[in-house]
Structure 1
């Protein structure tokens, strides 16, 4: 029993240490490129916001249909529900409240960077787990995609909540889907390009870790730019 507790504490300490390193990297990269990214995304906001709002208003009711809820239990369908923003809203609120309680003096951007770092580390863990044994790496592709999609959705919702946007608004679903489509296109190309290399013992795990962490960071970065520029030209009431 004692050994089990020690192992659990050791794993927790390792996760926290790795997250702190990722936090430092994310902070430097994000702050260094935020102004340029915001300038670029702000030019797209007049087109993005109406599109995501429209998609969200359509996807919201569809996500609550019995068939869609049934789809969540089917193998390989987790990615679909995550892509349309099917997340645990109460969990999102609780996570953001806890973060604000832990770091009451930090800015919205700093809190969002913590979410990005934590999610990137979790994504790296998924990449390690699904590529640890090369022969089954391809067989676990759907597991990898589903887990990453779920992490993406949760991260986007948390970042939106940090910036003051309600996690229950249908707009979030449209935003998650838009960002997911963007990332899945580039991420899918990256994954397909690495598929053969991921079968190589040792190298596969490294590539899985790097590609998943990079993908999640890019999604978080785009989400931060979106919500920061959305606040500068608001069309939705901030809560």
Structure 2
């Protein structure tokens, strides 16, 4: 059956779609077709914004989609999921080894290693302190200026990417959008370059991906170890996710620079938003323990567990690496827009694997707190 037939059969008519293992009622708003795959924008009943899903997610889709398209799409997604799960396991193992090496260096009083560790701990503390002092005050009034900034950021950006990301941004609550925009406006490009160059000096033979992995480990661990607020009875140690958000954005800029991107380019903000939109979706935020960042959810407290904070940094860092790897491999805007859909599948699978590695990540966090106590006072 042709694509036009698919559109005529399904567009704007009540149907059912499998989303995260659940059958949900709604309707198809649009169909996007590539050589070997199709996506539909599905609007769930009761929601105001649709989301892009594989056409194979439609119930009884076998009767309306091209069999070869569906088969190829399923193979691509299965491969992407497997790759993401393997990378998550490798990243967690790398994280464990990294903090173990740091701990041994500090215990053995390896001066250079202590200086390097102390440098990144201090930088994290500065970010946390600055944002606590700022009181989480974002730019603009009632988010209006923040939304205008986002619109300008996407001006001149490949339309297909902007169209994919903007619906996700609309689902975020206003306070979170303002916080992100504040981080984008205040990002320190020179500091990002300095941090990356420092790592490159210590590891001259490392690839961009391995440099990025060090950046992710440092930001995930030291933001957690330096951002702790207090001990809540029956809950444990908590930290304010709002104060670590600017450090999260800084991390993505540093990863971009590690991949050779011009981070002073004004259009870079749109890519950072695309990466955040790729990771922090309506589906993934609840899985990450950050459901309160969605619209129409309470945001009275941004206190999260150290594990949640670390997982957010790991997930966003992974998405940034995959984004720039894909961009490097697919410089064509049209082909890259299609690849963005596959990246969404990989990020979902990566987060799922991170959750299964909770005990390992928690051990790393505990070890980081021990290391921090052994460092000289800053």
Q: Which TM-score applies when normalising by structure 1?
A: 0.54
Change (3 A) 1:169 1:113: same
* 1:183-217 superposed Cα distances (whole Å, 9 cap, x missing partner): 44434661358xxxxx9xxxxx9x71111001100
- Whether the 8 Å contact between 1:93 and 1:161 is mirrored in structure 2 is yes
- 1:167 and 1:81 map into 2 onto residues whose CA distance is 17
* SS of residue matched to 2:264: coil
**Secondary structure, counterpart of 2:158 in structure 1:** helix
CA distance in 2, matches of 1:115, 1:177: 19
Alpha-carbon distance, 1:178 to partner = 2.6
* Cα 1:209–1:228 shift into 2, 3 Å: same
Distance change in 2, residues 1:232/1:88 (3 Å):
same
Larger relative helix fraction: 1
Note the alpha carbon deviations across 1:116-172, whole angstroms, 9 max, x for none.
100110232255x13x2328x9xx97xx23322211111111111111101111232
**RMSD of the TM alignment (CA)?**
3.9
1:1-239 equivalences under 5 Å are 13=114, 16=117, 50-51=158-159, 78-82=179-183, 84=184, 86-125=186-225, 129-130=228-229, 132-134=230-232, 144-185=240-281, 186-187=284-285, 190-192=289-291, 208-234=305-331
How much does 1:180 deviate? 2.8
Matched residue SS, 1:97: helix
Between structures 1 and 2, the one with greater strand share:
2
Go from structure 1 to structure 2 and tell me whether the alpha carbon gap of 1:16 and 1:50 turns closer, same or farther (over 3 Å shift). Answer: same
Q: How many residues align?
A: 158
Q: What is aligned with 2:145?
A: none
1:40-90 CA distance string (max 9 Å, x none): xxxxxxxxx7259869xxxxxxxxxxxxxxxxxxxxx654311x3531111
TM-score using structure 2 length = 0.35
Task: Identify unmatched segments of 5+ residues in structure 2.
Answer: 1-108, 121-156, 164-177, 293-300, 334-378
Whose RCO is larger (CA < 8 A, sep 6+)?
1
**Residue ranges of structure 1 left out of the alignment (5+ in a row):** 1-8, 20-48, 56-76, 194-198, 200-204
The structure having more radius of gyration, on CA atoms, is 2
Change (3 A) 1:182 1:146: farther
1:119/1:151 contact within 8 Å kept: yes
Partners of 2:186 and 2:330 lie apart in 1 by: 27
1:31 maps to none
- Give SS of 2:220's match: helix
